[in-house]
């Protein structure tokens, strides 16, 4: 509006414009309120949906986690017991004893191998053959 038109406006005209502006503001505020209510309702529905769908999935998972923690604690206790037993077992002494036994067995095997190499297998086979002939002869005497 120009200044001339503003000068010609009466108080009633100004009040009408103010009333129209006030009504427009009220309409805008009602729209804003409706948008806020709709947004709140959507958010509430989303929260309810998540609670209904997710909580039943979380409870078994929480139970599994509790069971796992209990098993881990039990395992930790068993591990501590095992470490105590291993410390008490004197594995170093056992390993040294095993080395000594292996060394002694190695020496015995070498001695046995040397003794076996000394055996005259041809003479042994001939003796076995001769013994078999004697046993066969005795068997025929006794009727077998």
Question: pLDDT digit of tens for each residue in the chain (144 aa)?
Answer: 566 666 677 888 889 999 999 999 999 999 999 999 999 999 999 998 888 888 787 778 778 888 888 888 888 888 888 777 777 776 667 778 888 888 888 888 888 877 877 777 787 788 888 888 888 888 888 876
Please provide the DSSP assignment of 56-108 as one string: HHHHHHHHHHHHHHHHHHHHHHHHHHHHHHHHHTTHHHHHHHHHHHHHHHHHH
Distance CA(15)–CA(13), nearest Å, equals 5
Query: In angstroms, rounded to a whole number, what is the distance separating the alpha carbons of residues 105 and 88?
Result: 28
Q: What is the pTM of this model?
A: 0.37
């Amino acid at each position: 509006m120009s200044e001339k038109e503003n000068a010609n406006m009466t108080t009633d005209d100004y009040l009408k414009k103010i009333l129209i502006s006030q009504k427009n503001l009220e309409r805008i505020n009602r729209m804003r309120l409706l948008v806020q209510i709709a947004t709140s309702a959507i958010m509430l529905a989303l929260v309810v949906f998540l609670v209904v769908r997710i909580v039943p999935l979380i409870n078994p998972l929480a139970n599994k986690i509790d069971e796992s923690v209990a098993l881990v604690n039990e395992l930790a206790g068993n591990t501590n017991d095992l470490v105590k037993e291993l410390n008490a077992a004197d594995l170093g002494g056992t390993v040294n004893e095993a080395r000594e036994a292996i060394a002694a067995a190695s020496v015995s095997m070498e001695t046995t191998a040397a003794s076996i190499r000394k055996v005259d297998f041809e003479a042994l086979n001939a003796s076995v053959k001769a013994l078999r002939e004697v046993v066969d002869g005795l068997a025929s005497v006794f009727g077998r």
